[in-house]
Amino acid sequence: MTSLRFDVLGIGNAIVDVISQVEDDFLAQHQLNKGAMTLIDENRSHALLNAMGPRTIISGGSAANTIVGVASFGLKASFIGKVKKDDVGESFSHDIRSMGVHFNTANAIDGPATAKSVILVTPDGERTMNTYLGACQNLTSDDVDSELIQSAGIIYLEGYLWDPPEAKKAFEKAAEIAHNAQRQVALTLSDSFCVDRYRDEFLGLMRSGSLDIIFANQHELKSLYQTSDLDTAIRAIREEGVLAAVTLSEQGSIVITREETHKVPAIPIERLVDTTGAGDLYAAGFLSGLAKGAGLVDCARLGAIAAAEIIQHYGARPQQSLLNLANQNGLTL
Amino acid sequence: MTSLRFDVLGIGNAIVDVISQVEDDFLAQHQLNKGAMTLIDENRSHALLNAMGPRTIISGGSAANTIVGVASFGLKASFIGKVKKDDVGESFSHDIRSMGVHFNTANAIDGPATAKSVILVTPDGERTMNTYLGACQNLTSDDVDSELIQSAGIIYLEGYLWDPPEAKKAFEKAAEIAHNAQRQVALTLSDSFCVDRYRDEFLGLMRSGSLDIIFANQHELKSLYQTSDLDTAIRAIREEGVLAAVTLSEQGSIVITREETHKVPAIPIERLVDTTGAGDLYAAGFLSGLAKGAGLVDCARLGAIAAAEIIQHYGARPQQSLLNLANQNGLTL
């Protein structure tokens, strides 16, 4: 393989998370959809911020979290996403760059503020996300630099990108450039309600050969095929001819290709604090392994290692070197 | 005891913490004083924020942390401190009020921004604080409401308040009103360098009978009496005729009065993450016990319980109900 400038390039919504602990009552009282990501407007965002408890503010965004994870595994990573030139956007840019990630998407000067996700964590560790997309709506296909896309081995796209209408075009442009350059294109289905909004488009992308790798949790995969039976959904994804990595929470993950199936256990943890970013960091480990030529089982193990780190503290950005954790678990990259 | 509106009222610098992990090299490279609180200007604050790694933003401030801890033990608590009317100040106000703390100090409209402390956490869990005081410099004796002071059983003051010149007058006014109303007045020595700056004033306050309770760690106590021998410092504080609670990190704490000495062990922890707020939360437990009429040993045990919670995660605000933790440890309030 020729040496590429980046191992993985992610495109996603650039979001700062505002996290708070709440009781389950709070979710009921505010009619929130537990475990899901719901899009909200700025007024609703302010109302939730005021009603909830003390805040912890940490950069987030699904693909951005994954890309930071890839960098923490020691790989070369780049991110495309849109923030506004405001304090929150400055913080997002600082945080991703300080992890060694290349990030030079032009800031929005006018228009809505940098995106915030109000994340409510219940005592069971489950997170309920309420996202104000703000400046993410200003990501356009102009932000997708062909040369940058061609300079990365794997392009990673989040399903959430289909929510801001212009970003979807950026997504499609990036996938096309990448494929023409013989790069691998990966998609995370993001959220079962997101799948529900864009099922036909996601299936279409797979079936047109635009996607090589799919990440999903069991709920998203079942939503994709509109079935309540996981085995049915697994049989269906196997037929698509893509590489699929399906996470099963504490049951670990299953890696599926047309020819192979591997079940890989989760890493035991001391205390579940906050599930935010579990899927994002699983993808980080898996993609890092793939980019470095690891076998599929080791890719899934790297995913499990990263997910176990992230769910033991608040926020979806690693607090320890993932490369060190991989090494401690006997894996090299 | 007549029923008072508040069990504990704290006065302190109203600060939001911006926390990052760094290696020890970073401290050396930026000539930072490991383990200490150093005052910095806004330019220096920006320079450190840019140079450090990803940020976690959580409300802080020494006395504010203590008061939030008191509220988490289920007691009635109030706080006086100065923020500016800006986003950071709004976040501070939200966070303390959402814990049930009464906080109605007028916001500064003009002048410097809400205070930020850049907190660098090294792999050993030690924190090095770099504080831009900002709007805290606008706390004046006008912000000290006599009726509010008289409505609280214990007034808790942080030594750091002597740094902003006007705040020191607020401190002195509050101590005088409290004593005239037969309230107890507590002071934390805050930091050994802070003691070095105001040693004579702190000793003067004790010796004039303005203070009833002193909180210090071993370094601060030794600095107060300019000795390298802890036993010498303990003998000296015993002679002052105050109630002193001296924390000794993993060795627990010693409670000292003219008549009694009690050594109380620390609570074992799983993993030391960040020592920020250990002393603040010890004070929260101790004051909560005192306000509820607990014996001195139980006060120290409550302090140890709160300190153990806070050092196992980032930030100096509790993530679990301290009342629940006290109950789990067989203590009621």
Amino acid present at B109? I
Q: In what order do the strands lie in the sheet with A102-103?
A: A102-103, A77-80, A6-11, A152-158, A184-188, A213-217, A243-247, A253-256, A261-264
pLDDT of B1 above 60: no
Which chain A residues contact residue B317 at CB under 8 A? 54
Which chain B residues contact residue A94 at CB under 8 A? 49-50, 54-55
User: Taking Cα atoms as reference points, which of B54, B59, B2 lies closest to residue B317?
Assistant: B59
Substitution target from B19, B45, B50, B56 for chain A, most A beta carbons within 10 A: B56
B239 burial (CB, 10 Å; 0-12 / 13-18 / 19+) is exposed
pLDDT tens for residues B160-216? Answer: 999 998 998 999 999 999 999 999 999 999 999 999 999 999 999 999 999 999 999
Over residues B109-135, the mean pLDDT reads 96
Over residues A163-182, the mean pLDDT reads 93
Over residues A155-179, the mean pLDDT reads 93
Substitution target from B57, B59, B87, B119 for chain A, most A beta carbons within 10 A: B57
Substitution target from A45, A56, A271, A312 for chain B, most B beta carbons within 10 A: A56
pLDDT for residue B48: 97
pLDDT tens for residues A69-113? Answer: 999 999 999 999 999 999 999 999 999 999 999 999 999 999 999
Inter-chain contact A91–B59, Cβ cutoff 8 Å?
Answer: no
pLDDT for residue A2: 53
Contact B13, B115 (CB under 8 A): yes
Which residue from B21, B54, B95 is facing A55, i.e. has the nearest CB? B95
Could you tell me which chain A residue has the CA closest to the CA of B270?
A270
pLDDT of B256 above 60: yes
pLDDT for residue B165: 87
Inter-chain contact B56–A270, Cβ cutoff 8 Å?
Answer: no
Over residues B269-289, the mean pLDDT reads 96
> Euclidean distance between the first and final Cα of chain A, in Å?
16
pLDDT for residue B291: 98
Q: What is the DSSP letter of A250?
A: G
Does the domain formed by A6-13+61-112+135-328 have CATH 3.40.1190.20? yes
Name B11's bridge partners.
Answer: B80, B157
Name A217's bridge partners.
Answer: A247
CA distance linking residue B119 with residue B130, whole number of Å: 6
B3 burial (CB, 10 Å; 0-12 / 13-18 / 19+) is exposed
Which residue from B55, B59, B94 is facing A91, i.e. has the nearest CB? B55
pLDDT of B2 above 70: no
| 3-state SS, one letter per residue, for A37-80 | EEECCHHHHHHHHHHCCCCEEEECCHHHHHHHHHHHCCCCEEEE
Q: What is the DSSP letter of A105?
A: P
Inter-chain contact A54–B95, Cβ cutoff 8 Å?
Answer: yes
Which residue from B50, B59, B319 is facing A94, i.e. has the nearest CB? B50
CA distance linking residue A115 with residue A317, whole number of Å: 17
CATH architecture of B6-13+62-109+139-328: 3-Layer(aba) Sandwich (3.40)
How far does Cα A111 stand from its chain's mean position? 25
pLDDT tens for residues B5-23? Answer: 999 999 999 999 999 999 9
Interface of A with B (CB under 8 A): 21, 49-50, 52-59, 68, 87, 91, 94-96, 98-99, 270, 313-315, 317, 319
Which chain B residues contact residue A99 at CB under 8 A? 53-54
pLDDT of A1 above 70: no
Q: What residue spans define the domains of chain A? A: 6-13+61-112+135-328
pLDDT tens for residues A16-48? Answer: 999 999 999 999 999 999 999 999 999 999 999
Which residue from B21, B58, B96 is facing A56, i.e. has the nearest CB? B58
CA distance linking residue B60 with residue B115, whole number of Å: 10
pLDDT class for A3, splitting at 50, 70, 90? Answer: confident
The predicted complex's ipTM stands at 0.92
pLDDT class for A165, splitting at 50, 70, 90? Answer: confident
Contact B184, B212 (CB under 8 A): yes
Contact A309, A285 (CB under 8 A): no
pLDDT for residue A191: 94
Q: Which two tokens stand for residue A275?
A: 């599930």
Tell me what percent of the residues of chain A surpass a pLDDT of 90: 97
- What's the alpha-carbon Rg for chain A, to the nearest Å? 18
pLDDT tens for residues A190-239? Answer: 999 999 999 999 999 999 999 999 999 999 999 999 999 999 999 999 99
Inter-chain contact A55–B53, Cβ cutoff 8 Å?
Answer: no
Which chain A residues contact residue B71 at CB under 8 A? none
pLDDT for residue B176: 94
Inter-chain contact A21–B99, Cβ cutoff 8 Å?
Answer: no
Substitution target from A16, A23, A57 for chain B, most B beta carbons within 10 A: A57
pLDDT for residue B3: 76
What's the CA dihedral at A93, A97, A99, A101 to 10 degrees?
120
Cβ-Cβ pairs closer than 8 A, A with B, add up to 66
Q: Which two tokens stand for residue B274?
A: 């960040």
